[in-house]
Structure 1
Amino acid sequence: MLVYPALFDQGEKYIFVTFPDVPVAITQGKDVHEAYSMAEEVLGLALEDQNEFPEPSSVDEVQKNNPGKTVALIGIDLAAYRRKYHSKTVRKNVTVPEWLNNLAASEQINFSQTLTEALKEKLGV
């Protein structure tokens, strides 16, 4: 779980959300609930392809540098985010011994399902 402080700034019609430590993560919402939800989503989008993550600033420092704005911590579980937004299936060619293929076919084993289950177990997800 990654957690970053976000700035919530009430405008005339929308609440604008920015992340001082992740400048590309910018969003808005019509109300606090929508702004918070959009903040989680944009944080995931900004960080999903990263291997290294910026060090989060302290809430106190962010608040001190941004008087008049509300600071809240936003957390993102990147594994859950990737499962939610990148779960389309892809075709893979695999090679298995003929005897194993025949045995699996006779037992009506679904190769795609079995491979997916095995990969999840192997990867611990």
Structure 2
Amino acid sequence: MDQRIVYPVIIKEYNDEDGHYFVATSPNIKGMVTQGSTLNEAAYFSEDAIATMISDEKNYPEPMDPTEWELTENEKVVFVSVNMTQWLKKHGKTVRKNITIPEDLNNWAKENNINVSRVTTDALRALQR
């Protein structure tokens, strides 16, 4: 049977000099942040971001009850279902690495909703072949 966990995430809408986009964070998963150009896209990317952040843990964090969270006007709680069994079959255990990239590439990646971790992984897999 697949191990599924449903985590609440906070998705905040932005309209600023970087454009119009949505950023997802999770009080449950310290350091988890992802974004998308739409609310649905940010929720979709949250599944991978959560799974990546908790994949090396023996006991997954207990989902919090978001009913007492104080949200701003442009924030919403969205529940994200994470199928850890299927995710681990596809991706295996991950490790967290910090990388340094030029600021202009970072800005371009944000503007184009590029998941830098995914691009890095794909590039390394291509080199591995």
TM-score range normalised by the length of the shorter chain = 0.5 to 0.7
How many residues align structurally? Answer: 85
Deviations 1:33-90 (A, max 9, x none): 211111111011011111122222113123xx22321001111111100112239xxx
Aligned-pair identity in percent equals 22
Structure 1 unaligned segments of length 5 or more: list them: 88-125
- In the TM superposition, what are the counterparts of 1:106-125 in structure 2 within 5 Å? none
Higher relative contact order (CA 8 A, sep 6+): 2
Residue 119 of structure 1 is matched in structure 2 by none
**Looking at CA atoms only, which structure, 1 or 2, has the larger radius of gyration?**
1
Cα distance in 2 for partners of 1:36, 1:4 equals: 11
Alpha-carbon offset, residue 2 of structure 1: 1.1
Cα distance in 2 for partners of 1:66, 1:23 equals: 18
| Deviation beyond 3 Å, 4+ runs, structure 1 | none
TM-score when normalising by structure 1: 0.62
Residue 55 of structure 1 is matched in structure 2 by 62
* Larger fraction in helix: 1
TM-score when normalising by structure 2: 0.60
Cα distance in 2 for partners of 1:32, 1:14 equals: 8
Cα distance in 1 for partners of 2:68, 2:90 equals: 33
Structure 2 unaligned segments of length 5 or more: list them: 94-129
- Give the partner amino acid of 1:31: T
Report whether the alignment pairs 1:7 with 2:10.
yes
Cα distance in 2 for partners of 1:66, 1:32 equals: 16
Residue 80 of structure 1 is matched in structure 2 by 86
